[in-house]
Structure 1
Amino acid sequence: MNREAKMAELSGGCAHVHVTALHGPIDNHICHCNVCKGVTGQQTTHVAFFNYGDLTVDHPEKLARQPFNKDNPNGPLELCTCADCGAAIMLDDKQKRIRVAVPNVMGYDVAGFPAASYHAFYDASKGYAKPDDGRPVYEGLRPEFVWPKGG
């Protein structure tokens, strides 16, 4: 996917807080991790990582922040929800490397969002079938993924 393509159509949020992507995601996967399952209640979750500055928020003062991973409350990711209505807005990285969108949970047009290119954090020991939709399946993030430098 051409990250430099016009991405203003990639916007999410709620009536009070709007998020807009300036460029496409740097990573776009179907997540199988236990943290995503616990937060979303979904067996798998479409997750897109953006460079920190590429996902903008029009009213950051209206974001309520809580740890993304209840088992690691001091971890780098925070779940940002709207302080007015409680809607999930994005995941924000305290190290300012990435911001994360979950299209079907965070107010994006799912049909217009780029499709996930692979499966991440699949664990055969969890007892469900390995995905067979033609996308690569990894036990973590795709091997060539490099975390951006923090800000």
Structure 2
Amino acid sequence: MTTHYEGGCAHVHVTATAEPIDNHVCHCNVCKNVTGQQTTHVAFFNHSDIEVDHPEKIARQPFNADNPDGPLELCTCSECGAPLMLDDKQGRIRVAVPNVMGYDTGAFPDATYHAFYDSSKPYPKPDDGRPVHEGLRPDFTWPAGA
């Protein structure tokens, strides 16, 4: 397989072997809390399209502190604490946040839309020409789980 994207840290290498199935700018409160960023470039991959060379070195914690039993886990390096990926306990997706998870941000395609924009928040609606949605894009279909 061809490597498309590589991220991770010095201890754990994360490799995406396909293109993202979804690629957006996220405006959700969970991403804001986890990254400290107003918006976050997020890429969803089919679960099997992201490989990890040292899964035994991954520490897992809930991605959403307000929903600790939710499907997504934040995976970090157990040695250095670097964020590596989001892993779906249902085996549907794995998620890369290029500018936080050690990827070459210039290698990623631009996000195609804005997700989870909340018009009640005190910041302007994006006007960069990309579609803006209150959730994921309407035609997004979750892959089957493991």
User: Residue 150 of structure 1 aligns to which amino acid in structure 2?
Assistant: G
Residue 15 of structure 1 aligns with an amino acid whose one-letter code is: A
Paired residue for 2:63?
68
1:112: Cα distance to partner? Answer: 1.1
Amino acid paired to 1:120: A
1:135 corresponds in structure 2 to 130
Give the root-mean-square deviation of aligned CA atoms: 0.9
Amino acid in structure 2 at the alignment position of 1:49? F
| Aligned length in residues | 146
Aligned residue number for residue 30 of structure 2: 35
Distance in 2 (alpha carbons) for counterparts of 1:61 and 1:150: 22
| Unmatched tracts of structure 1, length 5 or more | 1-5
Q: Which residue matches 1:79?
A: 74
Work out whether residues 14 and 52 of structure 2, in 8 Å CA contact, stay in contact via their aligned partners in 1.
yes
Offset at 1:8? 1.1
Percent identity between the aligned chains?
A: 75
Structure 2 stretches lacking a partner, 5+ long = none
Specify the code of the residue in structure 2 equivalent to 1:99: R
Question: TM-score when scaled to structure 2?
Answer: 0.98
Q: How many angstroms apart in 1 are the aligned matches of 2:2 and 2:127?
A: 29
Q: Secondary structure at the match of 1:35?
A: helix
Q: Take 1:128 and 1:81, find their aligned partners in 2: how far apart are those partners?
A: 31
**Length-normalised TM-score, structure 1:** 0.95
Q: Does 1:44 align with 2:25?
A: no
2:94 to 99, 102, 120: 99
Tell me if the contact between 1:76 and 1:93 (Cα under 8 Å) persists in the aligned partners: yes
Which residue number in structure 1 is paired with residue 8 of structure 2? 13
**1:7: how far off?**
5.5
Q: Secondary structure at the match of 2:32?
A: helix
- 2:54 and 2:19 mapped to 1: Cα distance? 21
Asked if structure 2 preserves the Cα contact closer than 8 Å seen for 1:118 and 1:136, the reply is: yes
Distance 1:58 1:134 in 2: 38
